[in-house]
Amino acid sequence: MTRSSWWPIIIIASAVGTGLAMTGSIESPIRPVVAFWFLLTCPGMAFVRLLRLDERLIEFTLGIALSIGIDALVAETMALTRLWSPAWALAILISMSIAGAALQLVAPHAADEL
């Protein structure tokens, strides 16, 4: 397995794990840690990885910054449209993260065709 295929797997597993932990009746001290990990890293890393940066530290830093920005943008949009729902906000972030991870898995093959 190559370096490029690890992050999409981590993002998808984190998204599924967070969704199950938050929607299920799981009362565990691990639940906030899983949610914090997902919200802080996955939405941004799903899209920053498409830039194919060489420096891992820069990539990770940009991923965290973009995650915070995406989280805030989703929350603000929902609040301003008076459609605020934590469950729907999480569903949107999970969907965006899985879509970005899927693009990472498809993008190397699409680049070969060009």
* Per-residue model confidence (pLDDT) at position 79: 95
Write the CB contacts of 76 (distance below 8 Å, at least 6 apart in sequence).
none
User: For the segment 82-105, what is each residue's pLDDT rounded down to a tens digit?
Assistant: 999 999 999 999 999 999 999 998
Query: Across all residues in the chain, what is the average pLDDT?
Result: 89
Q: Where do the structural domains in the chain lie, given as residue ranges?
A: 3-113
